[in-house]
Every structure is written in C-alpha cells, then in structure tokens.
Structure 1
Amino acid sequence: MSALNKNSVVAVIGAGAMGAGIAQVAASAGHRVWLHDNRPGAAAQAIEGIGKQLDKRVANGKLSVEARDACLAALYPADSLEQLADAGLVIEAIVENLEIKQALLARLEALCTADCILASNTSSISITRLGAGMQRPQRLVGMHFFNPAPVMQLVEVIQGLASDADVVATVFATAQAWGKKPVLARSTPGFIVNRVARPFYAESLRLLQEGVADCASLDAVLREAGGFAMGAFELTDLIGHDVNYAVTNSVFDAYYQDMRFQPSLIQKELVDAGHFGRKSGRGFYDYREGARRPQPASLNSTAAVPEVIVEGDAGLLQPLLERLAEHQVKIHRRAGRGLLRIGDAMVALSDGRLASQRSIDEGLEQLVLLDLALDYRSCTRLALGCSADTSREALDQVVALLQKAGIAATPLRDSPALCVLRTVAMLANEAADALLQGVASAADIDLAMRAGVNYPQGPLAWADQLGAATLVRVLDHLQAAYGEERYRPSLQLRRQLAEGVPFHE
C-alpha cells in the first residue's frame, strides 16, 4: 500500500507541543497542513513557534532557508473544524480523555469525506474503544508519535479491532514517507513502548524503596554499565512524575492490576507533593538554582592484586577478563564452576539470587557478585553485591582489580539480580510477553524500544545475547526471593528455551 498522496491535505487537531510537532513533520514532508485548536489564536501561535524553531536550525546550518520557507508556507491555522473538511488525513492530538476524543471523532465523521483517514495520537487509550460507536471505525487508526515529534523517529501505528488493513498500511507507509520509523502494534494497553518500558522505571523504584542504593548510584549504573542514555530517576524527572505515574496507573488498571505493572509509592509521594521533576524544580533530584547534583557512590582501593584465577567457563564475564589482561593482569585458568578467584574473594556474575543465599547454596565464602554490563570491554562502572561474610579486605581486592581496568565500583546492598541484570531481565520478559500475545513482531518491539526510548539495544536482542536459559534462571530466582508473580517468566521465554531458538534469526 502506498503512502498518502502529497496532494492530500493533512489536518492536526491540538496545537500543543505534540500537535505542533506533528504538523511540522507533515508540512516538512510536503503536505498542506491545517492546524486547529479550540483555544482562540493557539494554532497561529504554534505556527509562529515552529517558525522560531526552524530559524534556529537554519542558523545552526542544519536546515536550508528554502526548506524552512516551504514548511512554513504549508502550515495554515484553522479557526474551525469545518475548515478541515477537505483533509485526507486528520490526526487528533488533544487531551487524553476518552469521552472528549470520541466526541471529536464523531464531529469529524460528520464533516469529513467517507474516505478520510482519522488517526489518534493517543499514548494509552484503546483504538478499539475510541472506534466504538463510530459510523466508520474501519477508517480509524492509531498514529502515536513521540515527543518532540520532529526529532523522535518512532511512530507506533496502532490497529484497532475494526481498523481496515489497507488504511493501516497507508498510515504505515505515510509515516515512512515522512522520514519516521513506524512499527505496527495491536491496540492493547500501553501499545509497545509504554508497556515494555514499565520495568525500566519500576525496578529502580523498587531498589530505591528497599534501600539498595541512592538515586545517583542507580542512575549511574544504568548509564555506565547498562548503556542506557539516562537512569530511571533522571528520565522520570524529565518526563514528569505526574505523566509517568499516570501512565503506570493506566497500564496497571488496564491489565487488571497485574503486579508486573504495580505503581510505586515513592513516585506517588512525589506526585502528591507536586514534585513533578524538572518542570516543577524538584523530583528525585533538585533542579532549583544553586542545588548540587549528588554523585554516585564509588569504592576506592589501594590493594595490590596482580592476577585472577578463572575456574571453568567465565561465560558472559569473558570480555571483562580480556580487558583485565590488556591491563597487565595475569589470568590463570583451571577446572571449576565458572567462578573467579580474586585475592580472598570468590567472584561471579549474579544469577538472580541474593549473594548471601548463593553463598549458602553453593558453599562459597567471601562471595562478591558482579552486575550485568552491556559491554564489559567498554563499561566505566559496575555494581557489586556481597555476601554477609565478605570482608572489607576481600571486597577491596575486587575493587582494586576493577580500578586497574578503569571501572568504578558501586556497592549495592545485597539484592536479587542487582540493578542492570534485573532491569534487563524484566524488560526482556515484558517484551517476550508482548510477543507471546501478538502485540507486535520481535523486530518491531526491538525497533520501538530503540527508536522510541533510545535503549542501547532491543530487549529481545538482549535476550538473545544473554540466552533464554540465563533469563529464565534469573527470573525464577527473583520470583523465589520475593515470592511474587511480578517476576514470573513469560511463557514465551520458556518456549524459546525449550525450542532452543533465538528471538531474532
């Protein structure tokens, strides 16, 4: 199916940041665009704002004068809905309220031609439910842009129960023609991104609530070890806790209070206090003038450790050993259970158990567990957890070795699966469940998480890298530690393990 013809008029309803951004995208792609808002003068003001943003890009050499002028010439403020009657595509980007959106769609059906495509930019409301009661629900599709729309590449194209396949295909092709990276999803709560991303916030919030570490330390570990652009507390401060908490509640309620999506009392307290993050001046961090940004906890050691003894297969830690060898650390190998001996300490990658529990289970003394890293060869920080009997001297020896390779060590209170590992395991688990339920393809799920929230790699690609056996083991251990259904492994993960096939061939 081909994209919407460039001669077709595009209308955008809602002149806020999102609506204005969508209008800019459509105009830049060569369409004549009507922008409407029910606030008098808002559409004209939004177009003026678009002009100022385009002027900055011209001044920075990122946009030609001709392209700016063509975009602005294609933008028209509409004082009434009646002016949108000739549109081939109408995208609503108004308030997230079911009744208000349904009322608008009913008016648009009465005004627009029978072949006009109606699209909703909703981030959380069911397209199927929006279409209920419409005369032509087959013409309705979700077209969920991400803010800021001119910059963010992802568009979730959402198919409701009644959406016509050709209409969906046209919207998909149109998003591609506009320079975006569209993904196709069924109309289920949270679609792809707002569903699969929930554990990224939830696991850090739980670790904070349990006193495992402070915000700065957990954020630093997710950035410097996990490869994420921002930690969970930085990101929710940027999004706004009122918005992020509301989306979490929406998904939680939509899935009948499934504990995988349980909201956080800590975040609720911030919302209750009006501490919404950057926009209010305070959130998990203080953004007021003169406030100092807290630094992550980092251990320091002057211990001398010239060698590592590797007992058996190092598995995922092999790149770390190669990095240590490059820094003149001697690596000795012998048979064993996949453990490292560093001075007095026994060292292993976390498998989801508490360090103290694993110490008891396997008879390991002075056990230090390492967290997962996206790339052990380049990470600049690792989180550590220790069993109760681990001495400061043994811990210092591990810290000293990491320092030698340029890796900062952040201590965490003994916790199942530490930080990056539990976050990635839960992201992969949720992505696997979305795949199981036919929400989207594996390729589209991973693309959505990379393009929509800037993950370093898709959660299912990460699952392939770690292996289904590792993820199921970690999740089983998390579930055993907490005794909660929240950490139950997805049937899809167990299926991948049983069949021995990856998510991506």
Structure 2
Amino acid sequence: MTAVDPSSPEGPETPGAGDTVGVVGTGTMGQGIAQVALVAGHTVRLYDAAPGMAEAAAEAIAARLARLVDKGRMSAADRESALARLRPAAELAEFADAVLVVEAVREDLAVKQELFGALEEVVAPDCLLATNTSSLSVTAIGGALRQPGRFVGLHFFNPAPLLPLVEVVSGFATDVTSATRAYELARAWGKTPVACADTPGFIVNRIARPFYAEAFAVYEGQGADPATIDAVLRESGGFRMGAFELTDLIGQDVNESVTRSVWHSFFHDVKFTPSLAQQRLVESGRLGRKTGQGWYGYGEDAEQPEPHTAEPADPPAHLVVEGDLGPAAGLLGLIKAAGIPVREEEEDHGTRLVLPGGGQLALADGQTSVEFRDVVYFDLAFDYRSATRIALSASQDTSPRTVAEAVGLFQALGKKVSLLGDVPGMIVARTVARLIDLAHDAVAKGVATEEDIDTAMRLGVNYPAGPFAWSRTLGRTWAHSLLDDLHMRDTSGRYAPSLALYRHAYASENRESAP
C-alpha cells in the first residue's frame, strides 16, 4: 500500500484555489466533481468527446448553483464568480495549464488508458492525473503512462457535491507525494478522504458486498421476502436502507456489475459470488427506480409490499435467563421494565432465555433451529432499546407455544416481530459478522487502516457503525464464532472466517486466559 503522509508532503504543492482543474466526462459524476472543484475556488475546464456535452454540463451545473442560491446555501455573487471560472473545453490541449485532471468516463479500461495517454502529451510533468473509477484497477489504468507515479484514484461518491467521502487510491506505481497531494486536495475541498491501496472495490465496494449478498441469500433460500428483509435491516440493524430498496435506488445493473467486477477481480472467490436472483432481475430489465420496476414497483399505482409482522401474542408469565446475554445484554433491562419476572442463573450456556413452556430463546449464532429441540432464535439489533422490529427464526419442529411466547415477549417490549424460516445467522447477525470479517481481512492485507475503513463505511454507505466499532461492541470472538458455525453448515467457503479474524479472536482468548 502506498502511504499517504499529510504531515510532510514533498514535491509540488497541493493545488489551491485559482488553479485550473480539468474534468473529462460530463455525466452525473463528472458534473458533480466539477461542481465541487468550482465551489472550492478553482478554474474548471470541462471536456467530453461527444459534441455539445461539455456545454450542456456547464448549463446543468449553473442551474444547480442557482438552486443553491435559492435555498440560501450560496450567495448570488459567489455563484457569478464560480460561473466565470467554468469553461467548456473543445479539446484536451486546453488542459495544458491544469494542475489536476480527473477522469469520469465510462468504465472501460482501454478507453481510460487511451485518454490518459493523450493527456500525458498535453499536461505539465507535475500535473496530477486521477481516475474516478469505482471498479477498475488504478494500477492497470496508469500502467501505460510514462509517469505512472503521478497517477492516483480519486473515487467520489454520488452525488459528489453532497457526499463527504473520497477514497484516495494508490496504484502499485503511485508516488507517496502524489497520493498525499490528492489526499490534501480532497480535504481542502471539504471532503473526508480515506487512503487505500488499489484492491478490487477499494474500501467501500469491497467490504459492503455482504450487505447485499446476505439479504439476497436469505431471499433465495425462501427465508423471507424483500420487504421483510429490508425492514429488519432498517428497524433492527440500524441501516439507513435495506438491501433491496438500496439496490433499486442504485440501479440493479450498476450494483450487479460492481459485484461481478469484484468477484472476477478476486478470481471468483466464493465470498464475493453474485446473486442469481439479482442477475435474473437485470436480465428481465427490472433495474429499479429508473425503469419503474425492480424488487419493488415505482409506478403511480404500484402497491408497496408490507413486511411480515406477527399477530399480537400474550407475553410470557416469566423468564429464566441462563448465562451471559452478551451482545443482547440490553434486553434484560427492557424485559424487567416491561414487568416480566426474570430469574437469572449463572450457567455457561451462552445467550439463552428459557420460556415458561420450556422452550428456549437464543441470540442468532449461526446454528439452525432444527438442530435443537424447541428453540427460537432472535436476530442481532444495533441497539435493542431503539430497535422497533426484531426478527425471529424457528423450524417446523419448534412448538407453537414457544413461538407464541417468543413473539409475545418482544411485543411486550414494544417491538414489531417478523417471523422468518429456519435461517441460520438470521439477517442482521450474519451480515454484520461478514462485514467485520472482510474488514479485518482488508487491514491484514494492507488495504487501509481500521480508522479509515470505519470512516469509509459510515460516510460512504451510511452504516450505523464501522465494522471495527461494531466488533469492539460485540466482542472480539463474536464474529468468528458465528461465522465458524455458519461454515460448518455451508462448507462452500462463503462463511469461512478469514485468517485475520481468527488471529484477532485467538489473540483475545490468549490474553484473557493469561495469568
């Protein structure tokens, strides 16, 4: 990983206000990046190979700035000053005085390599060259350059003017000074930069894959419908959106393409395998909001499906809590506050509650309900106090009384309850465990630091917590234990804990057992 050293950059200074920034490609991302540079005080030149597109993009940016003025977020004088610095370019030769050129053209390696080869003939030797690619290798794009050391990835998130995160990606040949200049530039533009190595998906698109993959796997396994899975991720997991509604917003074709690109780049690693159900959705042309139909319908008359919510049930008369509730410890206070008598027993049975009928209620741990007599699993919640929905999992062998008592318990705590099929690891728990696993693996392989990964996942995809913050809250061995249980039941390797996560959990056990 090429380091970023903001404390003592060497070589050319970081581009400042007034310097010329070139943007090639005038689609949504190109316009957004140009707007960010413009508002930061730069002269911005826009170029697009298609005639008239640069002029149209300049008009679109002007219209967006006018809306900012209308909303009181920008003064009219600042808008006029910005527009005076915005110049469509007829040819790449107009970038001769640029201190930075950012490319945002289509995701085609040959096209990008050809473009940067042409730019290298025009710009000054100290001009930074950057790609906004989200799926291609920064190393490969810059590999054809005579000076690959000045080439870097600047991956903005859409919409670029609003979202704060920028991934500063160092290719194999990127100089530390170039990465540092790009990092400082992003920070000067009011963004939150994170440094990462050139790895498939960088930080966010690499580590976020389980958020989509596990939701789709539960659906494909007939564990629950999309509306229920989304509701559980939002109302129990604390995620801003569920996987199905989010991919409808992103575009099924776009999301599936990124997943497939990461999978191919990791030589078909089973941990990144695309979803067959999503592939079928793309093949049918149901791409989400932009086509009016994806997992959900978006026409005027489209009915939005409701998540499965259990009918009211009576709360249990009492409970026995055996052992330490671990990540679900917050439930104990809620149960007592609801007026349900609780007897606590200090037995090492993990997270388990015994219901009046003799059935058991346990936090999802990667095992299935069918393996044990009369057990209901409940899913992980980001915060059990604020969670408004809890998912339960039971098998055909779980007694109706146990299911009813489990449903009634959580309803007594003010939660809606969604009953799933026999889904090992449930929804939130297995998703979070896999996020934690990929994050540890990324750090161990030099992709990024723990701090930058947590920052990227919070700001890039609005997770309620970063994977390492989650890991600290849940306990060092929690994710490894759950994934190990899942791996015993699915030996494909999809859930096999990484060596990094194993070391993390094992080191913790050694420290705890040391005298």
TM-score range normalised by the length of the shorter chain: over 0.9
Q: Which residue of 2 aligns with 1:453?
A: 461
2:169 maps to 158
Distance 1:74 1:329, change over 3 A: farther
Match of 1:415 among 423, 426, 431: 423
CA–CA separation in structure 1 for the residues paired with 2:82 and 2:317: 63
Question: More displaced, 209-218 or 334-343?
Answer: 334-343
- Share of identical aligned residues, percent? 45
2:355 counterpart residue number: 342
Describe how 1:240-279 pairs up with structure 2 within 5 A: 240-279=251-290
Amino acid at match of 1:347: L
How do residues 229-248 of structure 1 correspond to structure 2 at under 5 angstroms? Answer: 229-248=240-259
1:213 aligned counterpart, secondary structure: coil
Q: Which one-letter code corresponds to 2:435 in the other structure?
A: L
Bigger mean CA offset, 164-173 vs 492-501: 492-501
**Which residue number in structure 2 is paired with residue 52 of structure 1?**
63
Matched, 1:399 2:407: yes
Partner of 1:144: 155
Letter in structure 1 aligned against 2:353: L
Does residue 93 of structure 1 match 2:104? yes
Matched, 1:70 2:78: no
The CA deviation at 1:326 is 2.4
Question: Does 1:369 find its partner at 2:377?
Answer: yes
Cα distance between partner residues in 2 of 1:64 and 1:395 = 60
Structure 2 residue corresponding to 1:227, chosen from 234, 238, 250: 238
Q: Which amino acid aligns with 1:202?
A: A
Which of 354, 365, 368 pairs up with 2:368? Answer: 354
Question: In the alignment, which residue of structure 2 is the partner of 1:316?
Answer: 327
The Cα of 1:427 is off from its aligned counterpart by 0.9
- 2:203 is the counterpart of 1:192: yes
Q: Secondary structure at the match of 1:468?
A: coil
Distance in 2 of aligned mates of 1:67 and 1:356: 65
Indicate the RMSD between aligned Cα atoms, in angstroms: 1.5
Give the one of 486, 500, 507 matched to 1:492.
500
Q: Is the 8 A contact 1:301 1:397 kept in 2?
A: no
Question: Counterparts of 1:335 and 1:184 in 2: how far apart (Å)?
Answer: 46
Secondary structure (helix, strand or coil) at the match of 1:500 reads: helix
Contact 1:143-1:155 within 8 A present in 2 as well: yes
Q: Residue deviations 1:180-215, cap 9 Å, x none?
A: 011111111111111111111111111111100000
What secondary structure does 2:63 align onto?
helix
1:465 positional shift: 1.5
User: What CA distance in whole angstroms lies between the structure 1 residues aligned with 2:355 and 2:82?
Assistant: 62
1:449 deviates by 0.8
> What is the alpha-carbon distance in structure 1 between the residues aligned to residue 459 and residue 407 of structure 2?
35
Structure 2: tracts of 5 or more residues without a match? 1-8, 511-515
**Given residue 427 of structure 2, which amino acid in structure 1 is its aligned partner?**
C
Residues 214, 21 of structure 1: alpha-carbon distance in 2 compared, 3 angstrom cutoff = same
Which residue of structure 1 aligns with residue 25 of structure 2?
Answer: 14
* 2:395 is the counterpart of 1:383: no
Amino acid at match of 1:319: G
Q: What one-letter code is carried by the residue in structure 1 that aligns with 2:368? A: L
TM-score after normalising by structure 1 = 0.96
Q: 1:326 corresponds to which letter in structure 2?
A: A
| 5+ residue gaps, structure 1 | 360-364
Cα deviation 1:129-181 (Å, max 9, x = unaligned): 11112111111000000100001111010101111110110000000000101
Q: Secondary structure at the match of 2:468?
A: helix
Change (3 A) 1:277 1:135: same
Q: Is the 8 A contact 1:28 1:70 kept in 2?
A: no
Partner of 1:291: 302
Q: Deviation string for 1:321-357 (max 9, x for gaps)? A: 2122223333321233242123323111011111222
Q: What per-residue deviation string (whole Å, max 9, x for no partner) do you get for residues 280-337 of structure 1?
A: 1111111122010000001122314343221222222221121222233333212332
Is 2:197–2:448's contact at 8 Å kept on the other side of the alignment?
yes
Q: Deviations over 1:61-104 (max 9, x none)?
A: 33333333333232111111111111000000001000000000
- TM-score after normalising by structure 2: 0.94
Please name the residue that 2:478 is paired with. Answer: 470
Asked if structure 2 preserves the Cα contact closer than 8 Å seen for 1:385 and 1:412, the reply is: yes
> Aligned AA for 1:355?
S
Greater Cα offset, 197-206 or 326-335: 326-335
Distance 1:11 1:429 in 2: 39
Q: What is the count of residue pairs matched by the alignment?
A: 496
Tell me the distance in 2 between the aligned counterparts of 1:317 and 1:474: 14
Distance 1:160 1:262 in 2: 25
Instruction: Say which is worse superposed, 385-394 or 273-282, in terms of deviation.
Output: 385-394
Corresponding residue for residue 218 of structure 2 = 207
Q: Does the CA-based 8 Å contact 2:237-2:382 persist in structure 1?
A: yes
Which range is displaced more, 306-315 or 426-435?
306-315
For residues 69 and 224 of structure 1, the distance between their equivalents in structure 2, rounded to whole angstroms, comes to 45
